[in-house]
Amino acid sequence: MIQQKPFLKWAGGKRQLLNELEANFPPHIIETKQIDLYIEPFVGGGALLFYLLSNYSIKKSVINDINPDLMITYKVIKLFPEELIKKLREISEEYLVLSQEGRKRYFYNNLRTPYNKLKVKYNKQDKEAWIQKAALLIALNKTCFNGLFRQNSKGEFNVPIGYYKNPKILDEENINSCHIGLQNTEIYSSHYDSITISDKQNAFVYLDPPYRPLSDSSSFTKYSKEDFNDEDQKQLSEYYKKLSKKGHYLLLSNSDTKDNFFDELYKEFNIQRVFAKRHINSDSNGRGKVNELLIKNY
Ligand SMILES: C[S@@+](CC[C@H](N)C(=O)[O-])C[C@H]1O[C@@H](n2cnc3c(N)ncnc32)[C@H](O)[C@@H]1O
């Protein structure tokens, strides 16, 4: 199997939690290393997706995220990897030779402003614009402060420049590997509840919604224009129960907020507490180890 890793650094990315997640897979999947249908409705950077594509035999997968630019980037990697690599090579060659001042100008004038100006729609394929948007998104993610993806209330990418000496704007080998890995993957961009799963096939579904914040000041859950509040967490538990009744295998992760919010919502299921290291956090005190919840219906 070809090794793949996330092509973006993503807030809430699960690379630090892969061992704990794997230890909590359904037993038949651990035993056979085979998955007929894998579904990830909040895919983000896809840490678990790419781990599974690299180490398990998956017949078909379905991924979704509400962020259209992110999902356009997945589509571009699936459909137009060569053109994307060419664009990223151009950007990388232009950027790396510049002085710090030059890089700053380039970041704002050649990456961030054009990214925010370029309007693309997920439901309307426009090959050239899609490739441009995807290249700018990857380049911004590699060169911005902390490698974050964050938008303001107008939907504009607003992270400032980060000072990395030699950012890997183009990782050609990984883009090619992800391209191969995504060939049996259906890609969507909508609200998670539009992902309906027939009860004919038992799917393995990993749900990694935006965290319920550990404190009020944490702005950790703002990936897109929409917030994910307690009401959304409650609705998600209804979706979880609906899928569970259909016989799918469900694994959900969230933060352990100490007030038994999730213990109450998911009381009929199997709740494990595991330690996790969080990497991207605006609050420097929050970088230590925190508890994470894994909720399984098996
Ligand atoms: C915790 S992150 C997922 C991180 C991912 N597991 C990884 O390894 O990178 C949560 C994701 O949910 C997405 N999201 C937020 N609200 C959503 C919704 N209503 N439906 C689908 N996706 C949503 C966000 O855009 C974000 O990418």
**Ligand 1 centre distance from Cα of residue 105 (Å):** 31
Kindly report, residue by residue over 212-235, the tens digit of the pLDDT.
877 655 544 444 545 788 999 999
Kindly report, residue by residue over 15-71, the tens digit of the pLDDT.
999 999 999 999 999 999 999 999 999 999 999 999 999 999 999 999 999 999 999
Does 94 share its domain with 111?
yes
Protein residue closest via CA to atom 27 of ligand 1: 44
Residue 147 Cβ inside 6 Å of ligand 1? The answer reads no
Looking at the predicted structure, is the pLDDT value of residue 282 above 50? no
**Ligand 1 centre distance from Cα of residue 112 (Å):** 22
Does 46 share its domain with 83?
no
* Pocket-testing residue among 14, 38, 149, 223, ligand 1, by greatest number of atoms within 8 A of Cβ: 223
pLDDT score of 215: 63
Domain boundary residue, one of 143, 176, 209: 176
Distance CA 152, CA 18 (A): 30
Does 80 share its domain with 112?
yes
Does 195 share its domain with 252?
yes
Does 197 share its domain with 284?
yes
Tally of domains in the chain: 2
Q: Are 250 and 244 in contact (CB under 8 A)?
A: yes
* 8 occurs within a structural domain: no
Does 48 share its domain with 119?
no
Does 58 share its domain with 87?
no
Residue 42 Cβ inside 6 Å of ligand 1? The answer reads yes
Domain CATH code at residue 259: 3.40.50.150
Distance CA 255, CA 263 (A): 12
Domain boundary residue, one of 115, 142, 176: 176
Residue 292 lies in domain: 15-66+190-296
Protein residue closest via CA to atom 18 of ligand 1: 191
Tokens found for residue 173:
């080998």
Distance CA 241, CA 136 (A): 39
* 1 occurs within a structural domain: no
Does 230 share its domain with 147?
no
Q: Around Cβ 159, how many Cβ atoms within 10 Å?
A: 18
Looking at the predicted structure, is the pLDDT value of residue 155 above 90? no
Does 135 share its domain with 274?
no
* 10 occurs within a structural domain: no
% the chain with pLDDT above 70:
91
Reported confidence tier of residue 278, pLDDT bands at 50, 70, 90: low
Does 62 share its domain with 194?
yes
Residue 45 Cβ inside 6 Å of ligand 1? The answer reads yes
* 117 occurs within a structural domain: yes
Q: What is the pTM of this model?
A: 0.93
Does 152 share its domain with 197?
no
Distance CA 60, CA 239 (A): 22
Kindly report, residue by residue over 61-112, the tens digit of the pLDDT.
999 999 999 999 999 999 999 999 999 999 999 999 999 999 999 999 999 9
Closest atom of ligand 1 to 14 CA is: 8
Does 33 share its domain with 88?
no
Angle at 202 between CA 78 and CA 182, to 5 degrees: 10
Q: Are 295 and 269 in contact (CB under 8 A)?
A: yes
pLDDT score of 283: 46
Task: Give long-range contacts, CB 8 A cutoff, 24+ apart: 113-122.
Answer: 115/140, 115/157, 116/156, 116/157, 120/68, 120/69, 120/72, 121/68, 122/68, 122/71, 122/72, 122/189
* 181 occurs within a structural domain: no
**Ligand 1 centre distance from Cα of residue 191 (Å):** 10
Listing DSSP states for the chain in one string gives: ------SS--TT--GGGHHHHHHTS-HHHHHH-EEEEEEETT-TT-HHHHHHHHHSEEEEEEEE-S-HHHHHHHHHHHH-HHHHHHHHHHHHHHHHTS-HHHHHHHIIIIIIHHHHH---BTTB--HHHHHHHHHHHHHHHHHBGGG---B-TTS-B---B---SS-----HHHHHHHHHHGGGEEEE-S-GGG----TTS--EEEE-PPPPPSSTT--TT-SSSS---HHHHHHHHHHHHHHHHTT-EEEEEEE--SSSHHHHHTTTSEEEEEEEE----SSGGGGSEEEEEEEE--
Residue 136 Cβ inside 6 Å of ligand 1? The answer reads no
**Ligand 1 centre distance from Cα of residue 86 (Å):** 29
Looking at the predicted structure, is the pLDDT value of residue 272 above 50? yes
Q: Are 45 and 8 in contact (CB under 8 A)?
A: yes
* Pocket-testing residue among 62, 63, 65, 236, ligand 1, by greatest number of atoms within 8 A of Cβ: 65
* 241 occurs within a structural domain: yes
Domain boundary residue, one of 144, 176, 208: 176
Domain CATH code at residue 85: 1.10.1020.10
Average pLDDT of the chain is 91
* 212 occurs within a structural domain: yes
Distance CA 255, CA 211 (A): 6
Task: Give long-range contacts, CB 8 A cutoff, 24+ apart: 237-245.
Answer: 237/265, 237/266, 239/192, 239/193, 240/207, 240/266, 240/269, 240/295, 240/297, 243/197, 243/205, 244/269, 244/297
Residue showing tokens 């420049």: 161
